[in-house]
A and B are shown apart, each in its own frame.
Chain A
């Protein structure tokens, strides 16, 4: 646990020196939401249906990117190897990472929720706290997938391009663009596997219902399994020895 917290603190120290990244991380999603609100100035019902989804997609995507690049740096600059010679346990390193980025996501989601519900009057049945908690789970999923994706990238250039590779198929098939029941069967199977499908469904449930529905509960279970699975796989990709 000591090594986990040390790692979390070290990553936060690194990020707090990088003001521009923090500004991009925290302000851009909020500004995009404001933009969206005024795009639909005359059709607020559209804003009410699309807004909640962006509330989760922005944190998901940004956390994926920031995590995968930070981890990749650790892999390519030799510091990961150094930690391996110190026999740092892989799960404690991965948890340290997940914790650091989850903290960043809490601030990001706090800001975006405050703007969405406090300033832009986004209309959802579910309580803002519940919405923010679900958004946080989805941001942590982005962190977990980012950690995993970094194992397959050899350079930062590749890592950035993993974003469309990992996320676009999920985005296309999550039911936002085409209703899932009108898709070809094999596409729907894929859609049934992708975590973003459950994230979008969860947000739709929160939009329409004030209480926790069975569907929402099911979505949260699937998402949690994805988070744990991705973190586990990511820690398996940390190799102590080169072949």
Chain B
């Protein structure tokens, strides 16, 4: 029996003639925080959209919780938070969350629960348009948390946040992991990689590495993810330079 929370098998995605992802394969075990790390434009968002069934896969397959990604049975088992907040600016925090809860068929208590999880009780009646960027991201996160999904796919949830808020979000992620939730979190900040249990390093649509932080550092004999990333990218360049000399 396959226990992987999510798995990609030789996934390639071509959009408007350009290859966004090339032969990406990986498997994610439950109860982990997985970092999808790479520079912007590397294909992180496309990969995440494929995981939640929003992106058509040109080749290969993506499975989530033993089903093809995007199956309707996954609707309340996978929570997705896009890079842009994707909430209604002209509604209050509570109105936004209540709407999505109603669509999914959850009671009011679930709305109150996710509001307190993301710590927005004080802002619940405030219009989203008057919130700060970090608060908006938390409204979006609260919606992704509705119904306690087994897998959370979060696209750059900490981008643009100050260090204090970022730390608090990571505390929340760790709490969720303790509850058995698997989290796939993308970031282009290498520093955040060290907080993850497993890393998927991605560049130009190719998976450079898929391992724990410790293993990636030891196999590249480096001391930071940033260095490791450069070392994994550079062999090709070094080879080219050597050839030129």
Contacts and interface: CB of A to CB of B under 8 A. Distances in A.
Interface of A: 2-3, 6-7, 9-10, 13-14, 17-18, 77-79, 81-88, 240-243
The SS class assigned to the A binding surface is: helix
B75 A242 contact: no
Contact of B87 (A79, A81, A241): A79
B117 to A, nearest CB: 18
B200 to A, nearest CB: 21
A133 to B, nearest CB: 31
B74 to A, nearest CB: 8
A86 B86 CA distance: 13
Interface of B: 15, 49, 52-56, 70, 72, 74-76, 78, 80, 82, 84-91, 95, 99-100, 102-105, 127, 143
29 contacts: A6-B99, A6-B102, A6-B103, A7-B99, A9-B99, A10-B88, A10-B95, A14-B90, A17-B91, A77-B88, A78-B84, A79-B86, A81-B54, A81-B86, A82-B80, A82-B82, A82-B86, A83-B103, A85-B52, A85-B75, A85-B80, A86-B75, A86-B104, A87-B75, A88-B103, A240-B53, A241-B53, A241-B56, A242-B15
A170 B150 CA distance: 52
Contacts of A10: 88, 91, 95, 99
Contact of A243 (B56, B85, B100): B56
Nearest to B50: A241
Nearest to A80: B86
Nearest to B72: A87
